[in-house]
Structure 1
Amino acid sequence: MSDPVRLSKLMSQRGLCSRREADKLIEQGLVRVNGQTVNTLGVKFPEDVKIELSERAQAIQNERVTIMINKPVGYVSGQAEDDYVPAVRLVTAETHSDTDQTNLRLRPSHFKGLAPAGRLDIDSQGLLVLTQDGRIAKQLIGENTELEKEYLVRVKGDISDARIDQLSFGLELDGKPLKRAKVKQLNPDQLQIILREGKKRQIRRMCEAVGLHVSGLKRVRVGELRLGKLAEGEWRYVKAEEFTHRNKQQSRQSKPRHHKRTQRKH
């Protein structure tokens, strides 16, 4: 039988919220375990307990927004650094894309706690996700995430079959082997690269390792969320149903784990 686990950790493991959000909900008495309200931090439970969020907690989560931006080159993903402009500055009423299919209007509250779910280098462009929702952030950048991230990469150098094979599998960064990637040549100077991880400047470093120089890099997909027709420098809200990968995984994780027990003969 496994040892009891902190309630906030269990909630995070099941995709209900982040640990920090879990602590806030617990303190407010918005979490029930096996039908009983829990409002004490640090309490531990067996892994197979039933955890429920109150209607108020679910309403709080539903109010949180997620935004996708088609980030141009020259903007940083997160906090301003070295006088460069953070991508969140692009989120204005004037740059709100007409491809947005929600009825949401930009409000000051939408900026509270809005943070990038993953990096996109200053010299790269394309899909960048900002979210207030810890559940979505965990699915996109959590340490156990397996979501695919698709990039269109322009390179200088000879794109040989041998180099494509090297990029696909066998490279190391920072002394650690990389996960298998999907690499396809689209034209004489462009590659499609699909990763299941996101190390700092990974694609540029991978290409350098095989003798290719990246001259342009654009992220076009994260999981099932695609850049689509979103114009460069514009943004839109993301509907909850667009995160079908999250919904499927959350459905699995929200169920308590049942451990097989071996029967002993007496």
Structure 2
Amino acid sequence: MEKVRISKLMSERGLCSRREADAYIERGWVRVDGVVVSELGARAFPDQAITLERAAQARQTSRVTILINKPVGYVSGQAEKGYTPAVALIDARSRYAGDREPRRFERGHLDGLAVAGRLDIDSQGLLVLTQDGRIAKHLIGEDSSVDKEYLVRVQGGLSENGLALLNHGLSLDGKALKPAQVRWQNNDQLRFVLREGKKRQIRRMCELVGLKVVGLKRVRIGRVSLGDLPLGQWRYLREDERF
């Protein structure tokens, strides 16, 4: 049995992200079989016990995750081509009045926010920004199994067997897509449930079967729904919510 970097083991076990693991190790907040480890790049056997000191646990607890109902025209991440990033929507005035999370908004809650599942500029709906590397990994890591649900308004004529192909049988960039759940919601709207998120995936899938997307809204990520969060407003992920 070979030793593995402790930061890698911590990430695989869902304790934190690799970057967070390195920061905790530097501070002496990580123990392997009860012994403090403070050397970056240190390794351990995969069957050894790894625990976090209370200071690291407290830091994780203080990290926030924010849910935004992103409007069309905002980019998910960094500002580009003159467009405004969704994080610019987050301030005390735009917080949802129905937010039941008791914490007060602080400017520090904007530090280090990472987008956990992008939503393109032409789409709206549920966008997750988080300071917690565990949540980001859970939602967008290579082995993530969290599904995402979309309402998609379309135009055009669906090709023969098109609905079946949307569910399973299409390929993008030379790679077969994972099975999806796609059904008609009404005469001009489809409901998609996906477990992957290639760039502009739904729009490209629809094009392959003769449809053009004219409106796309993400309404759910895992067990967390957009609900009645108003367009352009945000709220905190509650302590009792899990994706």
Give distance in 2, aligned partners of 1:65 and 1:18: 15
Are 1:11 and 2:10 an aligned pair?
Answer: yes
Would the aligned equivalents of 1:112 and 1:132 in 2 still touch at CA under 8 Å?
Answer: yes
Pairs within 5 Å for 1:167-182: 167-182=166-181
Are 1:86 and 2:85 an aligned pair?
Answer: yes
Pairs within 5 Å for 1:24-39: 24-39=23-38
Deviation by residue 1:37-78 (Cα, 9 ceiling, x = unmatched): 111111111111111111111001111100000000000000
Deviation by residue 1:150-170 (Cα, 9 ceiling, x = unmatched): 000000023467211010101
Q: State the identity %.
A: 60
Are 1:65 and 2:64 an aligned pair?
Answer: yes
Query: 1:211, CA displacement in angstroms?
Result: 0.7
Name the aligned partner's letter for residue 175 of structure 1. G
Query: 1:98, CA displacement in angstroms?
Result: 1.6
Give distance in 1, aligned partners of 2:63 and 2:161: 46
Query: 1:227, CA displacement in angstroms?
Result: 0.3
Q: Which 5+ residue runs of structure 1 have no aligned equivalent?
A: 246-266
Q: Which 5+ residue runs of structure 2 have no aligned equivalent?
A: none
Are 1:218 and 2:217 an aligned pair?
Answer: yes
Give distance in 1, aligned partners of 2:25 and 2:36: 9
Moved over 6 A (4+): none
What is residue 143 of structure 1 aligned with on the other side?
142
Query: 1:225, CA displacement in angstroms?
Result: 1.0
Would the aligned equivalents of 1:155 and 1:216 in 2 still touch at CA under 8 Å?
Answer: yes
Tell me: CA distance 1:185–1:161, structure 2 relative to 1, closer, same or farther (3 Å): farther
Pairs within 5 Å for 1:170-209: 170-209=169-208
Name the aligned partner's letter for residue 77 of structure 1. S
Pairs within 5 Å for 1:101-112: 101-112=100-111
What is residue 164 of structure 1 aligned with on the other side?
163
* Residue aligned with 2:161, SS: helix
What is residue 116 of structure 1 aligned with on the other side?
115
Deviation by residue 1:164-218 (Cα, 9 ceiling, x = unmatched): 1010101000000000000011111000000000000000000001110000000
Would the aligned equivalents of 2:158 and 2:210 in 1 still touch at CA under 8 Å?
Answer: no
Greater Cα shift, 35-44 or 123-132:
35-44
Give distance in 1, aligned partners of 2:136 and 2:219: 18
What is residue 22 of structure 2 aligned with on the other side?
23
Tell me: CA distance 1:161–1:102, structure 2 relative to 1, closer, same or farther (3 Å): farther
Would the aligned equivalents of 1:64 and 1:133 in 2 still touch at CA under 8 Å?
Answer: yes
Matched pairs, number: 243
Query: 1:105, CA displacement in angstroms?
Result: 1.5
Length-normalised TM-score, structure 2: 0.98
Name the aligned partner's letter for residue 131 of structure 2. Q
Would the aligned equivalents of 1:99 and 1:229 in 2 still touch at CA under 8 Å?
Answer: no
Give distance in 2, aligned partners of 1:98 and 1:134: 27
Give distance in 2, aligned partners of 1:170 and 1:116: 29
Give distance in 2, aligned partners of 1:63 and 1:12: 19
Give distance in 2, aligned partners of 1:99 and 1:221: 18
Length-normalised TM-score, structure 1: 0.89
Give distance in 1, aligned partners of 2:132 and 2:57: 12
Are 1:43 and 2:42 an aligned pair?
Answer: yes
Would the aligned equivalents of 2:159 and 2:210 in 1 still touch at CA under 8 Å?
Answer: no
Name the aligned partner's letter for residue 179 of structure 2. R
Give distance in 2, aligned partners of 1:91 and 1:103: 17
